[in-house]
Amino acid sequence: MKRILFALTALIVIILVFNKLIYNDRLPPNYQALRVDVNRNKAVINSISIMDSNFSDLQVFDRILKDNRILMLGEMTHDDGETFRAKSRLIRYLHEKLDYHIVLYEAGQYDMWVMNKEMDRPTLQLPKQSLAGLGLFDFWWRNKETAPLITYYQKSKLSDKPITLGGFDIQFSGRLLGDNRAKLLEEFCLKNEIDLKNYPLLKKELNNLAYLTLARYANRKLDSTAKNQLLHEIGKLKYALWASGRGEEHRIYSRYLADIKANYEKSWSYAAGSMASMHLRDSLMAQNLQYQIDSLYAGKKIIVWCANIHTFSTAYNKEYIPLGTYIKKKYGPQAYMLDFSSYGKKNDVGQIVGKAGKLAIENIFHQTGVPYFFLDLRGLPDTAPLKRSFVSVINQGIAEERKWADYIDGIFYIDLNKRPTNLKR
Residue length of the chain: 425
DSSP of 305-318, one letter per residue? E--HHHH-SS-SSS
Find out whether 73 and 87 touch, Cβ atoms under 8 Å.
yes
pLDDT, tens digit, for every residue of 161-208?
A: 999 999 999 999 999 999 899 999 999 999 999 999 999 999 999 999
SS3 423: coil
Beta-ladder partners of 413: 341, 373
**Residues in CB range of 101: below 8 A, 6 or more apart:** 95, 161, 162, 163, 164, 300, 301
Question: Can you give the pLDDT at residue 3?
Answer: 56
Helix extents (H) in 270-406: 275-291, 308-311, 323-331, 362-367
Domain ranges of the chain: 2-418
Ramachandran class of 369: left when φ > 0, alpha when ψ lies in -120 to 50, beta otherwise = left
Q: Are 338 and 409 in contact (CB under 8 A)?
A: yes
Per-residue confidence (pLDDT) for residue 18, from 0 to 100: 45
- Phi-psi domain of 192 (left: phi exceeds 0; alpha: psi -120 through 50; beta: other): alpha
The secondary structure of residue 422, as a DSSP letter, is B
The residue type found at 56 is S
* Mean pLDDT in consecutive groups of 10 residues from the start of the chain, 425 residues: 52 48 61 96 98 97 95 97 98 98 98 97 91 97 97 97 98 94 95 95 96 96 97 96 87 96 97 96 98 97 98 97 98 98 93 93 97 98 97 97 98 97 83
Pairing of strands 70-73, 100-108: unpaired
Triad 174, 180, 183: Cα angle to 5°: 140
SS3 content of the chain, % helix, strand, coil (to 5): 50, 15, 30
CB 387 within 8 A of CB 376: no
